[in-house]
């Protein structure tokens, strides 16, 4: 079994979530003691799984530009909005992970954007900065799931690496459920790079450069 310490819930609080398109749902937000990376990750518990059903879980990495400011350079904001409703309908957990820019941080992400404006794709830009293509580690996510009593789940993600990391950490990923496809004129190259470089399950034929 994976060797990492257990985390414990720190606080639970009910929060009514309201989105700009009018959708709303009540959620339980859970904080934790003992997360291995020391970051303030958050679990958002939504709905109730049907008897015998696995909870639907999304591990959503923080994206200030997309989640808060509605940046069209990525698909993070629409994925977050979609995930909340789908998880609330099925019952499960959204893990909001403080791993901005695939783990490289906000300033480095914006530096990478500048390099993308010069023609590099999202992964090439990280490499040009001397940074990993994807620096994310999901050990804290596995700790959070363990603290919530979730040992088996359906994972809402297009990213095969997320599912594999969770399995390696002892979490049973029953199914990987793809998200919607949220294209804009500004993020098509970004989405194509995800398919070609890290085998995200997105329909490549629909992601023409335009």
* Positions marked catalytic: 134, 136
Query: Alpha carbon of 53 to those of 9, 28, 67, 71, 171: distances in Å?
Result: 23, 20, 29, 35, 16
Cβ neighbours, 10 Å, residue 22? 6
Tokens of 79: 């994925």
Please state, in angstroms and rounded to a whole number, the distance separating the CA atoms of residues 88 and 174: 19
Instruction: For residue 31, count CB atoms less than 10 angstroms from its CB and return exposed for 0-12, middle for 13-18, buried for 19 or more.
Output: middle
Three-class SS state of 79 = helix
Cβ neighbours, 10 Å, residue 117? 10
SS3 content of the chain, % helix, strand, coil (to 5): 35, 25, 45
8 A C-beta contact, residue 14 and residue 115: no
Comparing C-alpha atoms, which of 134, 151, 133 is closest to residue 142? 151
């Amino acid at each position: 079994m994976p060797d990492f310490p257990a985390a414990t819930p720190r606080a639970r609080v009910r929060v009514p979530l309201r989105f700009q398109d009018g959708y709303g749902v009540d959620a339980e937000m859970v904080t934790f003691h003992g997360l291995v990376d020391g970051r303030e990750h958050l679990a958002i518990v939504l709905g109730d799984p049907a008897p015998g059903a696995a909870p639907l879980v999304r591990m959503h990495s923080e994206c200030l530009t997309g989640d808060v400011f509605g940046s069209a350079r990525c698909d993070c904001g629409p994925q977050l909005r979609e995930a909340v409703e789908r998880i609330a309908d099925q019952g499960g957990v959204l893990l909001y992970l403080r791993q901005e820019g695939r783990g490289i941080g906000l300033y480095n992400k914006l530096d990478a954007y500048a390099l993308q404006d010069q023609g590099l794709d999202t992964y090439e830009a990280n490499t040009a900065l001397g940074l990993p293509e994807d620096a994310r580690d999901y050990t804290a996510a596995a700790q959070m799931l363990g603290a919530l009593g979730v040992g088996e789940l359906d994972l809402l993600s297009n990213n095969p690496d997320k599912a594999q990391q969770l399995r390696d950490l002892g979490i049973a990923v029953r199914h990987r459920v793809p998200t919607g496809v949220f294209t804009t004129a500004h993020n098509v190259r970004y989405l194509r790079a995800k398919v070609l470089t890290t085998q995200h399950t997105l329909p490549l034929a629909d992601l023409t450069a335009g």
